[in-house]
Chain A
């Protein structure tokens, strides 16, 4: 049974602040405690620029922004799931492969990204995550009018992250402690059989929460 509150408290109690060099080494990564507004300003400037230049440009911009989310999931979620902290705090709660998804979602709920919930998980097939107060939708709504639904959502990080979760668990196998190197990344995020995610509802387009579904491509 995943005890999300215990996991969140454990992650927030870690000393994730800069050391004497001003760096935050953790989970085999260098972390930053960064500004949501910064990410939103630069990402949405790119997206809006593409929207002014036509649909083909929008497709490319979304692919690149979601790809950054894939990279985030692979390295951050993967790094966390291979970490000593995961072994100490989350691993004792794991009773099934699906609990790895619920466990890492609990960790995400300590990162400041808005509240993630696993809405539906079909082992090896589909994952739906809803996010209340995603920092991306917060940023859009702070600076822009509500988008028409047909324009799609703005939560590219969440979209890439949810696909990445499924790829780590069901296209690859993070439970076997693989090396998170470029060749493994290519295997996980290259067709056929990889998971691809879509944001089906977004607060930036008038929904109450953001919802992302990942399915095999």
Chain B
């Protein structure tokens, strides 16, 4: 991953997206702030924001799409520190997420959650599948069916292609 750092401007970019370092305390506190302030709308907001930004980046990094997008997305997800995903091929529509940054972070800081918390990861997976299969984002539905923050052994994201 060729993350380009502009020392004079303190700015880092990859695939047209600015990248900034933040820790699990900030990430989970910001997520909790949104959920306190926006209620149920916060989840969809975070999923959509993640899907949009990752779609844009993957299309910049792999403009021709194709079979390499899944591997690229898996490597990107883990390189950036979000955990490890396995984007299955063919008919597989269940994506295991190991070492979820948000899930484990939430559990460590805030204790067991009432519902899944890996909204960024859900949006990321949705984008990866859409770009890999040459589909628009709204043709791919994604949801987290198990989350470590809720007591599951690992996180699972389920995908449904709707057209």
Q: Which A residues are closer than 8 A to B by beta carbons?
A: 5, 8-9, 12, 16-18, 20-24, 27, 29-39, 41-43, 45-46, 49-50, 60-61, 64-65, 67-69, 71-72, 74-76, 79, 108-116, 132-133, 135, 138, 157
Report A15 CB to chain B, min CB distance, Å.
11
Query: Is residue B24 within 8 Å, beta carbon to beta carbon, of the partner chain?
Result: yes
The answer on a CB contact under 8 Å between A17 and B10 is no
The answer on a CB contact under 8 Å between B25 and A71 is yes
Among listed B48-56, B60-68, B87-95, B138-146, interface-contacting one: B48-56
Point out the residue from A18, A31, A34, A67 that lies within 8 Å of B78, measured CB to CB. Answer: A18
Task: Evaluate whether A75 and B25 lie within 8 angstroms (CB atoms) in the complex, with A22-B98, A113-B10, A135-B20 already known.
Answer: yes
A125 to B26 Cα, complex, angstroms: 26
A27 to B23 Cα, complex, angstroms: 10
A116 to chain B: which residues have CB within 8 Å? 10
In which size bucket is the chain B interface?
A: 35 or more
B24 to chain A: which residues have CB within 8 Å? 29-32
Task: Evaluate whether A72 and B26 lie within 8 angstroms (CB atoms) in the complex, with A8-B7, A112-B21, A135-B20 already known.
Answer: yes
Task: Evaluate whether A68 and B101 lie within 8 angstroms (CB atoms) in the complex, with A35-B53, A46-B34, A133-B10 already known.
Answer: no
The answer on a CB contact under 8 Å between B120 and A18 is no
A65 to B50 Cα, complex, angstroms: 19
A75 to B97 Cα, complex, angstroms: 26
The answer on a CB contact under 8 Å between A71 and B9 is no
Q: Which B residues are closer than 8 A to A by beta carbons?
A: 1, 3, 5, 7-12, 17-27, 29-30, 33-34, 36-38, 42, 45-46, 49-50, 52-54, 57, 77-85, 98-99, 101, 104-105, 120
What 14 additional pairs, Cβ within 8 angstroms, besides A18-B78, A32-B80, A113-B10? Answer: A18-B81, A22-B98, A31-B23, A32-B81, A34-B80, A36-B17, A39-B20, A41-B53, A64-B37, A67-B33, A75-B23, A109-B10, A112-B5, A115-B10
B52 to chain A: which residues have CB within 8 Å? 41
The answer on a CB contact under 8 Å between B20 and A64 is no
Point out the residue from A32, A64, A111 that lies within 8 Å of B101, measured CB to CB. Answer: A32
A36 to chain B: which residues have CB within 8 Å? 17-20
Task: Evaluate whether A22 and B81 lie within 8 angstroms (CB atoms) in the complex, with A34-B27, A68-B33 already known.
Answer: yes
B17 to chain A: which residues have CB within 8 Å? 35-37
Task: Evaluate whether A64 and B10 lie within 8 angstroms (CB atoms) in the complex, with A30-B101, A138-B18 already known.
Answer: no
B5 to chain A: which residues have CB within 8 Å? 12, 112
The answer on a CB contact under 8 Å between B101 and A133 is no
The answer on a CB contact under 8 Å between B22 and A72 is yes
